[in-house]
Chains A and B, each alone.
Chain A
Amino acid sequence: MSALLEVEGLVRRFGGVRAVDGATFAVDEGSITSLIGPNGAGKSTLFNVVSGFLRAEAGHVLLAGRRMERRPVYAIARAGLVRTFQTPRTLERMTVRENVLLGAVRHPGERLPLAILRPGSVRRRERSARARADELLALVRLESHADALAATLSGGQRKLLDFARVLMTGPRLLLLDEPMAGVNPTLRAQLLEHVLALREHEGVTVLLVEHDLELVMRVSDSVVVMNEGRVIATGLPATVREDPRVVDAYLGTPP
């Protein structure tokens, strides 16, 4: 397998603190890779740098060999690297369906002249986008809420909405920031199924930050362990679990 995402020597400081301090790892195409580490290990900062929300002070981020670290957030997303947020960024005063429709990429109707002239291409694209959005809403069991304002959704439903929205973009690499936190066990199992199905059927690669280690060990093809801004171990879940550095830094006792 070849690497879809390569992170090389990434550095990001806040004040004097090196939140990410030379992190290096790779995510294989078609894999589910988990990023784990104790609180304050730099996982969130790393996510923010990789997705373009924070500037890297040194190092590279390569997506399929192309450098991303100097691109703006939207360009990184268009290149196929799309993220979710720890707390879902729900667009509350828009409907649930509109939230998902926003994920449509290269939509000609988002260009003002075309939006006004409404040529057939715009109408066709909007129709297919709606069909896809409704499909995704059905997938996350939110179809009955499609026309409600997103503000009416519960916390767990918002996570699902975020998930449907990023799927709408047709990503190559999905960065999921604690997708299971705050989601009830039933939904959790479903969400997990979706992630696995996604990789299976659409070849999407997933990089995941997750605190639930039992889950991480079960679904991941590969695990990256961070501590104090550095990557201290990478490998198969079983190998990482036994790695003494990881045990020291984080696990304490193997789960």
Chain B
Amino acid sequence: MFLQLAANGLVTGTVFAIAAVGVSLVYGVLRLVNFAYGDVMTFGAFVAVLFNTRFGLQMVVAAALAMVATAILSVALEGVLWRPLRTRRAGFMSLFLASIGLALVLRQAIFLVAGPQPRSYDVDPYKVYVLGSVRLSGSQGVAVVVAIVAIVLVGIMLGASSLGRVLRAVADDRSLAAVAGIDTGRVVVLTWIVSGLLAGLAGVLAALVQSSFDPNFGFSLLLPIFAAVVLGGVGSAYGALAGGLVLGLATELSTWPGFHGGVNPVYKPVVAFAVLIAVLLVRPQGLLGRARTL
């Protein structure tokens, strides 16, 4: 039972982590708390549904197309919304509110086009991986492997490549980076591409794991994702991974009967929020992040 819950937690955690890296990256470079991220994930999940069930494409292909679609959407939104806001010197509050408006528009547009009925992908629902006493569904197994590979790739990209160095430089100090001759406009677009790809992937994987999802599902994941970001320390990819894992494990393991009978599973999201608030209060710089001086 405990191991099964831990395995479930690992799956949820890695999926949270991908999305958390995407949110964290945008916050690091643009100082934007993107409230629409959950709905961009939903958008990705629905694009994949379109290609997978309507056009009968393989799940892998559908997922890849969904990632491309979310990346395009993210870049397009940079052009029509975020850049104009920045040129008007919009502050944190304006950006946050605009992202709330955007979240509303995206979600309702998905409702309008796709309808409110729950969807699922055309995958084999009976496939099961058995590892000792742990059973993972086919979707869960794929999700956890893909998610870990994706995070390692992003981690390598941020840590080692010149792109990663540039991103970190801009995240540290935008004006200084601009003075140093970094094309910040290009970096911003790159950030949106990476974060968009991650949103698409996280959306598809989260949808796979849930097996059935409606246009509200991305938004319902948003706060746990924020929690993972804060937990890991804003702006750190490996931190986001750690945050996602801790959060996934905490929510799943909280239902373990061996722990004072366990928390009622309906309260799993509450556990995530409680962890979020607790982390904000006790360690606002995150688990791995360093405290900023003033």
Residues of A within 8 A of B (CB): 14-15, 54
Residues of B within 8 A of A54 (CB): 294
Which 3 A-B pairs have CB atoms at the shortest separation, nearest pair first? A14-B293, A15-B293, A54-B294
Cβ distance B292 to chain A, nearest Cβ, rounded Å? 11
Residues of A within 8 A of B293 (CB): 14-15
Of all chain B residues, the one with the shortest Cβ separation from A15 is B293
The range of chain B's interface size is: under 10
Of all chain A residues, the one with the shortest Cβ separation from B291 is A15
Q: When A and B form their complex, what is the total count of cross-chain residue pairs whose Cβ atoms lie within 8 Å?
A: 3
- Cα distance A14–B294 in the bound complex, in angstroms: 10
- Cα distance A15–B294 in the bound complex, in angstroms: 12
Residues of B within 8 A of A (CB): 293-294
Give the dominant DSSP class at B's interface.
loop
Q: List 3 A-B contacts (CB under 8 A).
A: A14-B293, A15-B293, A54-B294
- Cα distance A105–B206 in the bound complex, in angstroms: 57
Cβ distance A51 to chain B, nearest Cβ, rounded Å? 14
Residues of B within 8 A of A15 (CB): 293
Residues of B within 8 A of A14 (CB): 293
Cβ distance A12 to chain B, nearest Cβ, rounded Å? 11
- Cα distance A14–B293 in the bound complex, in angstroms: 7
Of all chain B residues, the one with the shortest Cβ separation from A14 is B293
- Cα distance A19–B156 in the bound complex, in angstroms: 36
- Cα distance A210–B248 in the bound complex, in angstroms: 55
- Cα distance A54–B294 in the bound complex, in angstroms: 9
- Cα distance A211–B143 in the bound complex, in angstroms: 63
Cβ distance B173 to chain A, nearest Cβ, rounded Å? 17
Cβ distance A109 to chain B, nearest Cβ, rounded Å? 30
Cβ distance B221 to chain A, nearest Cβ, rounded Å? 37
Of all chain B residues, the one with the shortest Cβ separation from A48 is B294
Cβ distance A142 to chain B, nearest Cβ, rounded Å? 29
Cβ distance A184 to chain B, nearest Cβ, rounded Å? 29
Cβ distance A239 to chain B, nearest Cβ, rounded Å? 36
- Cα distance A54–B293 in the bound complex, in angstroms: 10
Cβ distance A169 to chain B, nearest Cβ, rounded Å? 24
Of all chain B residues, the one with the shortest Cβ separation from A53 is B294
Cβ distance A241 to chain B, nearest Cβ, rounded Å? 34
- Cα distance A15–B293 in the bound complex, in angstroms: 8
Residues of A within 8 A of B294 (CB): 54
Cβ distance B153 to chain A, nearest Cβ, rounded Å? 32
Cβ distance B56 to chain A, nearest Cβ, rounded Å? 58
- Cα distance A18–B114 in the bound complex, in angstroms: 61
Of all chain A residues, the one with the shortest Cβ separation from B294 is A54
- Cα distance A30–B75 in the bound complex, in angstroms: 64
Cβ distance B285 to chain A, nearest Cβ, rounded Å? 14
Cβ distance A207 to chain B, nearest Cβ, rounded Å? 22
- Cα distance A184–B294 in the bound complex, in angstroms: 31
Cβ distance B281 to chain A, nearest Cβ, rounded Å? 18
- Cα distance A236–B241 in the bound complex, in angstroms: 60
- Cα distance A52–B167 in the bound complex, in angstroms: 36
- Cα distance A66–B91 in the bound complex, in angstroms: 42
Cβ distance A57 to chain B, nearest Cβ, rounded Å? 13
Cβ distance A47 to chain B, nearest Cβ, rounded Å? 14
